[in-house]
Amino acid sequence: MSLLSLLAADPSETHHWLLPETAEIIYGGIASVIVIGGLVKFAGPMVKKSMAARTERIQKELDASANDLASAQSDAAGIRTALGDIDAERARLLADANVQAEALLRDGRARLTAEIAELEAKADADIAAAAARGGDELRTEIGRVSASALDKVLPSVLDDATQQSLVENFISKVGASR
């Protein structure tokens, strides 16, 4: 046998270097059609269903995020409005507090003025009473000291005859005035 015949008789060799044997093409083609047909018939609906479910889930997430965005924007607008209301409320409260503080100051000043006037009047009355009391006490003390001084000085200055004539003159004047 020749080398050529040996090569031709080798079963691993094909009639063409790129294409397989015809039987392999037929059996492989039929098997591929059966497998692909089975996949299309049985797995196709499941793939469609899972894709539809995935699309639906993604759409729900998109809708939910759109709703959340709208809700957040309305909340932000509400907060901005409330912030404006807070500024207005703060200004109103400060104005009310200023009015109340001014009223308290006016009332306090009026009460203090009245109290000061009352205290001044009381102080003037106390000063007048103290002056009168001091004057009375001074007169009393002067009378007591002068009486004491007269008791000590008169007997030494006046003799009995002068003292007797003074007493008689006093009695005659009192008797004459009646």
Over residues 40-90, the pLDDT tens digits come to 999 999 999 999 999 999 999 999 999 999 999 999 888 888 777 777 888
Cα angle 122-124-126, degrees, rounded to a multiple of 5: 65
pTM of the entire structure? 0.35
- Tens of pLDDT, residue by residue over 127-158, are 988 888 888 887 788 777 777 777 777 666 76
Q: How far is CA 88 from CA 54, 83, 94, 124, in A?
A: 50, 9, 10, 53
Contacts of 15 (CB under 8 A, 6+ apart): 21
Question: Alpha carbon of 70 to those of 76, 77, 80: distances in Å?
Answer: 10, 10, 15
Q: Which two tokens stand for residue 59?
A: 């759409």
CA distance 146 to 154: 11
What three-state secondary structure class fits 19?
coil
Query: Quick one: pLDDT at residue 6?
Result: 46
Higher per-residue pLDDT: 116 or 6? 116
DSSP category for residue 11: T
Domain ranges of the chain: 20-166
Question: What digits encode the pLDDT tens for the residues 92-107?
Answer: 899 999 999 999 999 9
Q: DSSP assignment, residue 158?
A: S
Can you tell me the distance from the alpha carbon of 64 to that of 48, in angstroms, rounded to the nearest whole number? 24
